[in-house]
Chain A
Amino acid sequence: MPKSNVLKHELKRFWVNTILMNYRNGVGGNILENMSQLRMVVGVSKAEDEMRMKRMIFRISKGRAIPSFFDLDQGFNQHNNIGTGEHALRKMFMIFFQGGEENVMLGRIIKICDLFSASRYDIPKKEDILNALHMINEIINEKKTFLLEAEGSLRNFIRDKVGTVSIS
């Protein structure tokens, strides 16, 4: 393995371990910059953009931002393919980098995310994550009911309009 790759790997290992340690000690994803000045951007992008995004992040940060991509659960992509199936396969990413409050790197990374139409999400603190999950589940159930109602009224309207001609 070339020396630069070994260094990059070691740096990534150190950053990730620091972030994991911070998180387990109750520090949220957004305020990881307490002592270590490490930050993390989490989001979802198209799976096909993974390599291009990695390359662009490397070029813009000169290797000082480290992206990791993960497959999302099967359930997510299955949900996305319901109906028209027009949604592309999506992957979650985590980008680690170093910087303070007025961070130029953060601005650049956000621009890259926007360029690839990737959505970004705030990760709450460890103790708040369960509450957040519970809240999202409630919202999802509520929206599912709305969706069924909206679909029902749409179908009823169409049926009402096209069904006025009786074939008998």
Chain B
Amino acid sequence: MANKYNECIPQFKNFEHFKSKIEEDQLLRDKKYGTTYFDLLEEEIIEDERILLDLVSSYTQVRETLDVNFERLFVLQKCQNLMSSNTNSNDFG
């Protein structure tokens, strides 16, 4: 999705860097009783996916409506040109 919208994904320099960031993240998270770090991550990923899909679907919907309106606009303009007083039956192929 990030590639599709030309957003770059930051990469870790090496394993040490990755490990230090994971430790920082672990400390930041509010651990609930009985949940592991992976449970928390999973919950967050599922929620993010839901939000992302909602955003993409609303974007696609607006895009489709815009396409239909553009099509209608061009059709009406073409009809207006074809039906104008300086056309004749030869213009219809």
Kindly provide the distance from the CB of B65 to the nearest chain A CB, expressed in whole angstroms: 6
- CB of B56 within 8 A of CB of A139, answer no
B12-25 CB mask vs A (1 if < 8 Å, else 0) is 11000000010000
A100-125 CB mask vs B (1 if < 8 Å, else 0) is 00000000000000000001010110
Query: Interface of chain B, helix or strand or loop or mixed?
Result: helix
- CB of B10 within 8 A of CB of A166, answer yes
Which chain A residues in 105-149 approach chain B with CB under 8 Å?
A: 119, 121, 123-124, 126, 129, 132-133, 136-137, 139-140, 143-144, 146-147
Given A20-B83, A24-B83; A76-B74 close (CB under 8 Å): yes
Given A75-B74, A94-B92, A126-B83; A143-B11 close (CB under 8 Å): no
Asked whether A72 is an interface residue with its Cβ less than 8 Å from the other chain, the reply is yes
Query: Interface of chain A, helix or strand or loop or mixed?
Result: helix
- CB of A162 within 8 A of CB of B2, answer yes
What's the interface size class on A, roughly? 35 or more
- CB of A165 within 8 A of CB of B12, answer yes
**Which of B13, B58, B63, B76 is A133 in contact with, Cβ under 8 Å?**
B76
